[in-house]
């Protein structure tokens, strides 16, 4: 189904309201979901709405407010109160920006949340305020460590962002070979997973998404990616998550923001970042038809192109299921 960006935005916001969120909460979540769609990350867009609905059907909507548990001029610890991660991480990011802008550096952690989404979404906000940022988020133990077949840490994304005189540099990766949302979308659409990305609960390799969701995903990058995922898991624990978060609960989100001019003049740093980025892009490519890119170049280009075309493509089964939620038929879509 092809929708204009405006119509897609209205639909997403209406569905989030139908799920029980306020208009302001729905707008925060919708901005994130639509940004994912525009960047071609369909598994983190409208498909994610269905996963949110599934989660709320199991656990219900939290009636507790996000709150600050402890705070200093350069730090804050938030209780996410089992609220949707888009809301919790947005609040934590805004606090990190405010504190780092005032004090030069900030560390903000949030816990008891789920589905924090694309960390680059928050990093873009931070670098737009001329801050360097590192963000990490742990999750349910869906991923096996290198050499194992049982989940011990989450898909555990980590993201870095640097302001620039031109395009900011943002590097955002999940540390598993496939992320949870991709497997969920594959299950919804009846598609197999790539080889080598998952184990079933019996420890045997599988390409069946339902079997994989009951088992474990493999880490990205072998033992290197596995080690990075472990570090992200510990950073999530630093933010307040339990050692082993439950199924779609207890995630930790950690943001560290820094003013570059604590160490080097801001304008000079931004010029050097821009110049270095161009130097990387000008690297002689191994394939003349595939030029070297900086991190986030593809996402930025895809988003700009999609905006110029003014439409979003949603798989028909996903669109139909979302419409059922909008019509108040949340419990009927899987019958």
- The parts of the chain modelled with pLDDT lower than 70 are 329-335
The structural domains of the chain, ordered by start, are 2-61+299-332 (1.10.1530.10), 67-262 (3.30.1370.60), 268-296 (no CATH)
Dihedral angle sign, alpha carbons of residues 120, 47, 2, 31:
negative
Instruction: Encode pLDDT of 24-35 as tens digits.
Output: 999 999 999 999
pLDDT score of 329: 62
Q: What does the alpha-carbon distance between residue 230 and residue 253 come to, in Å, rounded to a whole number?
A: 14
User: How would DSSP label each residue in 119-158?
Assistant: HHHHHHHHHTTT-EEEEEE--SS-BPPTT--S--B----E
- Both tokens of residue 150? 């049982």
Torsional class of 167: left (φ above 0), alpha (ψ -120 to 50), beta (otherwise): beta
pLDDT score of 327: 85
Helix H or strand E encompassing 251: strand 251-258
pLDDT score of 335: 36
The DSSP call for residue 42 is G
Of 214, 185, 210, 179, the C-alpha closest to 197 is 179
Q: What does the alpha-carbon distance between residue 35 and residue 120 come to, in Å, rounded to a whole number?
A: 10
Q: What does the alpha-carbon distance between residue 112 and residue 229 come to, in Å, rounded to a whole number?
A: 19
Read off the pTM: 0.94
pLDDT score of 334: 41
pLDDT score of 310: 97
pLDDT score of 330: 53
pLDDT score of 29: 98
Instruction: Encode pLDDT of 68-93 as tens digits.
Output: 999 999 999 999 999 999 999 999 99
Of 208, 103, 104, 232, the C-alpha closest to 159 is 232
Of 181, 133, 184, 139, the C-alpha closest to 157 is 139
Q: What does the alpha-carbon distance between residue 220 and residue 227 come to, in Å, rounded to a whole number?
A: 10
């Amino acid at each position: 189904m092809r929708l204009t960006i405006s119509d897609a935005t209205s639909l997403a916001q209406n569905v989030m309201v139908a799920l029980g969120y306020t208009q302001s909460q729905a707008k925060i979540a919708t901005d994130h979901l639509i940004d994912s769609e525009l960047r071609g990350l369909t598994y983190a867009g409208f498909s994610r709405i269905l996963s949110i609905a599934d989660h709320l059907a199991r656990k219900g909507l939290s009636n507790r407010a996000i709150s600050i548990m402890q705070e200093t001029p350069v730090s804050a610890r938030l209780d996410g109160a089992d609220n949707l991660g888009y809301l919790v991480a947005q609040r934590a990011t805004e606090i990190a920006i405010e504190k780092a802008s005032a004090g030069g550096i900030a560390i903000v952690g949030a816990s008891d949340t789920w589905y924090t989404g694309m960390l680059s979404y928050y990093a873009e906000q931070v670098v737009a305020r001329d801050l360097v940022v590192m963000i990490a988020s742990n999750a349910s133990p869906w991923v096996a460590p290198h050499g194992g077949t049982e989940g011990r840490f989450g898909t555990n994304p980590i993201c870095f962002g640097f302001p620039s005189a031109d395009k900011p540099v943002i590097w955002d990766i999940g540390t598993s070979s496939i992320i949870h949302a991709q497997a969920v979308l594959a299950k919804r659409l009846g598609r197999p997973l790539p080889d080598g990305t998952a184990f079933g609960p019996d420890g045997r390799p599988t390409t069946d998404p339902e079997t994989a969701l009951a088992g474990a995903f493999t880490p990205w990058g072998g033992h290197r990616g596995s080690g990075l995922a472990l570090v992200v898991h510990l950073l999530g624990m630093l933010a307040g998550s339990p050692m082993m978060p439950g199924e779609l609960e207890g995630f930790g989100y950690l943001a560290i923001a820094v003013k570059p001019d604590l160490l080097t003049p801001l304008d000079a740093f931004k010029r050097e970042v821009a110049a270095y980025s161009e130097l990387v892009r000008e690297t002689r490519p191994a394939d003349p038809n595939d030029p070297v890119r900086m991190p986030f170049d593809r996402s930025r280009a895809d988003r700009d192109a999609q905006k110029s075309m003014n439409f979003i493509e949603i798989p028909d089964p996903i669109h139909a299921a979302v419409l059922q939620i909008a019509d108040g038929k949340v419990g009927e879509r899987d019958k």
